[in-house]
A = this chain, B = another copy of it.
């Protein structure tokens, strides 16, 4: 089994805390050091037994580490890696949990000193809670962690990162960073863009003479649940996965326009076929 002496978790929240918990539980790490800006959260991490110790100075913390997990918001990952890179021990593997990969991997790879390794990853897991308090060791069980090697990725380091996520209980598909970003743009980012636009449109509709949203029933509320997601996190995702999101938004708009034409023309057969294909494809992924 994969084995690390000293793991540093930068950003000790649900994602970082949960990985530390499971690796410690399985005996895959000897020591876990947490890094973050909120000292109360880090102290709580020690109290909960997630961390052995903590530091608010990432450069100091990474000394002698053989594994660094960067679990900060996606926009700050390259900043963090730039900060710690000169202080990494030879052989150290740096990996991340960012939900966008191309910009992160492209920014981080050239920052790594000779003999240290960056491997991008994205555990597709989460709950509506955050902070180390919300972390638990089975968060990744049965989930997928997509790992995104490039032509530059060290094969031994890659193998270790794959193993680490397997220890956590995940299946670990490998994917090119660009391909990864298209997948998440399609199945996660596009639905969010659509839901945010839908709520804003219904809220902004001004030809009704009343508040349309006040008539919303359970169905509307369920459908738009993701439109209540954290605006700052989604701003960052939209900024970092710009091209893939635009690609998927444009592709979606083509289909919306197709449907609009069917509605406009009152095309009964076309409408039924459009709805039926959707139903069949969705039922197949249940």
Contact = CB atoms under 8 A, between A and B. Distances in A.
Interface of A: 124, 144, 179, 182-183, 186-188, 190-191, 193-205, 207-210, 212-217, 219-232, 234-235, 238-239, 242, 245-256, 258-260, 262-264, 266, 268, 271-272, 274-279, 281-286
A194 B198 contact: yes
Contacts of A271: 234-235, 238-239
A193 B253 CA distance: 12
A187 B222 CA distance: 11
A204 B277 CA distance: 10
Contacts of A200: 255, 259, 274, 277-278, 281
Contacts of A210: 179
Nearest to A75: B268
Contacts of A190: 198, 201-202
A238 to B, nearest CB: 5
Interface of A is mostly: helix
Contacts of A283: 228
A268 B233 CA distance: 11
Nearest to A262: B238
26 contacts: A179-B209, A182-B212, A183-B212, A187-B202, A187-B212, A187-B213, A191-B220, A193-B263, A194-B198, A195-B223, A195-B278, A197-B278, A198-B255, A199-B282, A201-B256, A203-B277, A203-B278, A205-B248, A213-B284, A216-B285, A219-B226, A230-B279, A231-B272, A231-B275, A234-B275, A245-B263
Contacts of A195: 223, 278
B215 A251 contact: no
A246 B263 contact: yes
A79 to B, nearest CB: 15
Q: Top 10 closest A-B pairs, CB basis?
A: A231-B275, A201-B255, A231-B276, A199-B278, A235-B272, A196-B278, A201-B252, A197-B255, A235-B271, A197-B256
A208 B222 contact: no
Contacts of A263: 193, 238, 242, 245-246, 249
